[in-house]
Structure formats: structure tokens, C-alpha cells
Amino acid sequence: MTDIEFDADSHCYHAEAGQALYPTRYRAVSAFAEGLAIAHKLDGAVVLIDPLGRELDLRDQRFAWILPPHLGRALAQTIDGRHGWLDPTGCFHAHREDPEWTARVEVVRIARLIYERGYNVSIDGNISVRLSQGELLITPSGQHNGFLRPEDLVVIDPRGRLLRGDGRPTSELRLHTALHARRPDIGCVIHVHSPFAVAASLAGVDLTRTWISAAPIPTTDYARISSEQSPAVLEPFMRDYNWAILPRHGTVAWADTTWNAFLRIEGLEHCAKIVMAARAAGPIEPLPDDRRLELLTFWGLEHLEAPR
């Protein structure tokens, strides 16, 4: 494999062929895996490149996302929503579109987005998705969620017993089964260790206070990780909220779809980041009482107490 070197004068990476890889041609380039890297072009397209910066011929197919190659296959989704994989020649092979496989691919994609945004590191975090007949597709224990494959996920019954898969379900499975049982309207639960939200809990910052336009974010009582304590402290907030902070631990969000649960995780962390930055600059000015009630009513939470 040819090395790619950084040119300090042009502030971009060059391959042996002299073609600039970043940032003049691409917004971002992943690490190489099996001789290929994922490149995000300036026009929004996602492509595969070789070590010389040459793009694979993707046969005029456009992709919403591509995952790093593994055993000659790079999982991908086309712009029109078809799931499949790219071979080393750039040829796209459509997957069977059964619901469980589609859910597995989506969980892997979201898990990687979570890792790339720094909401999880190492073996932190877990995701579950409701399948038919009450089964839950869930991430395995002890694996790095940013580099999961669809086949790594396991299936459990509503009580947490393993039904299918080679690994063990996440040690936080009690939290997931409790939320799915309490909220039959949801389809996905995501738990991450997002740093600004955890920092807010360490500093005693209460994000239920209506300082910005986000819906209130409750912080539960403390619970030891991977124990029956987590669903117990979360239970008071399961009905009225769709997210919460587990102090000194992480955050949880639940929604109808995997994507919407991810959006709540992202929004929660962004809110925590804003509030912590404001707090570092000085005292935070709260909203007046009438404005707090107005905001709670907007979110359909006017029945909740509006903390000052």
C-alpha cells in the first residue's frame, strides 16, 4: 500500500500520484481498510478511494452512506434507500430487504455515527430495536459499537433471554427491556456516555430548567452501571419524557425509530454543551415564569412543574 503524506505547505494530504485528497477534493476521508477509504466529497457524495486517491467506478450509483470494507464487502445505502454492499470493484449488490436485516444495518449505521461524534468510546453504550412478536434486537456486550457488523447483533425476548446470536446481550439489557415494556409506542432505545451531559451531572447542572428552547431534560437519581438500579431510577420519567441523564454515567433516549432516537441523543448532548459553555462564562439567566410555561406548553409538557 502506498503511503499518503501530509503536505505542510498546502495543508492537505497527497498520494504518490500527486493528487490532493483532503481538503481540496474531500470534506473528510476515513482510515484505509482493505486498501480502500471512504471519502465524503464536497458535493455531498460518498465514494470509495484507493491509496492513490483514485475513486472507484460506482457505476453512476450515489450513496447516502458507506461503511468500511470487511472481508471484501463495504455495507452501503443508496440515495433511494436500498441497502446492500460494494465489492472491491465498486459493484453494488442489493441485500434482501427483510425487516430484521434492515434493522440490523440501521443499528450498525447509527452506532458508527454515535462513535464518530464522540458520544461513545471503547465498549460504551448500547442500542435496542423492537422487532415483530415483541423480540428485541440489541447490541452485544463487550464490543466496540463503532465497529459492529450487522451479524454481531443479538436477539432477546422481552424478558432479556437470548434467542438468536453468538454473543451476549449488553449488560444494560434491563434498562432496554424496562423501557420497551413501559412504552409500547416506541421502537428504539439508545444509551450513550456523551461527555457534556455527564459533565453537567457531575457539576450538578439541572437541565430540566428551561434555559434554552429544548424540552426539559431530567436527571435521574444515581444508579450503578449494569444493574437493576438503572431502570428503577429511570421509571419516573419514562411516560412523560423521551430522554434522560443517568448521573455520572450517560444518557438515554427512546423514540419510534432508530433515527429519531439518535436525533434525541444528539440534541440532548448539544443542549448540555450549550448550557455548560454558558455556565463557564458566568451565571445563566433563567426564563421568566410565563415564558417557561409557554415553552412547556409548546412541548406538550405543561402538566409538569416548571423548575426555576
Quick count: other Cβ atoms within 10 Å of Cβ 55? Answer: 15
Domain 99-298 has CATH 3.40.225.10: yes
Q: How far apart are CA 156 and CA 128, in angstroms?
A: 10
Q: How far apart are CA 254 and CA 233, in angstroms?
A: 16
Domain residue ranges of the chain, discontinuous segments joined by + = 5-94, 99-298
Summarize pLDDT for 47-59 with one digit per residue, the tens.
999 988 889 999 8
Set of cell numbers at residue 200:
453537567
Output the CA torsion sign for 232, 226, 251, 202: positive
Task: Provide the CB-side half-sphere exposure for 133 (13 A, CA).
Answer: 8
Summarize pLDDT for 161-220 with one digit per residue, the tens.
999 999 999 999 999 999 999 999 999 999 999 999 999 999 999 998 878 888 999 999
Q: How far apart are CA 176 and CA 179, in angstroms?
A: 5
* pLDDT over 70 percentage in the chain: 91
Set of cell numbers at residue 98:
427483510
- Kindly state the average pLDDT of the residues 59-64: 90
Confidence of residue 20 (pLDDT cuts 50, 70, 90): low
Q: Is the pLDDT of residue 2 over 50?
A: no
